[in-house]
Structure 1
Amino acid sequence: MGTPDHEPVLDFDIAVGDHVCAMYSGPAERNAILRPFLDTGLGAGHKCLIGLQEPDAPSVIRTLGMHAD
């Protein structure tokens, strides 16, 4: 269960301000990690920053069905 400062994401209790480094192999696994992280963070009104080694990062965001700046 989450508290105002902690949100459970992918079975981890991540606190506001925590940094997460997720290793993945392939786009499907990356998206399976990113989606709940972004859904939880953005849904709670937090700013989320992701770094992608992808030539077209906006296409990744579109693939996830999200809107971002």
Structure 2
Amino acid sequence: MRAEQASQSPWIKSRHCGASSTCVEVRRLPDGMVGVRGEHVSGATILVLDETSWRAFTDRIKSGAHDLTA
């Protein structure tokens, strides 16, 4: 999905991002899906997840499953 096809609801990001430009932004889409994009990438392709996939993804993030190791 292209950014211009997404709903007009605002893109939001975690308050934990601060000044970092490595965060992702999310937006609820009209059909109940969730759009995900890289911050500051206006017009880029959007990853679209259904509610079940979004919850599974965020649960894995919260559990540390996607943490980068040094």
Name the TM-score class by shorter chain.
under 0.3
The structure with the largest helix share of the pair is: 1
Give the structure-1-normalised TM-score.
0.24
Normalized per residue, which structure has more strand? 2
- Greater RCO structure (CA 8 Å; 6+ sep): 2
For normalisation by structure 2, the TM-score amounts to 0.24
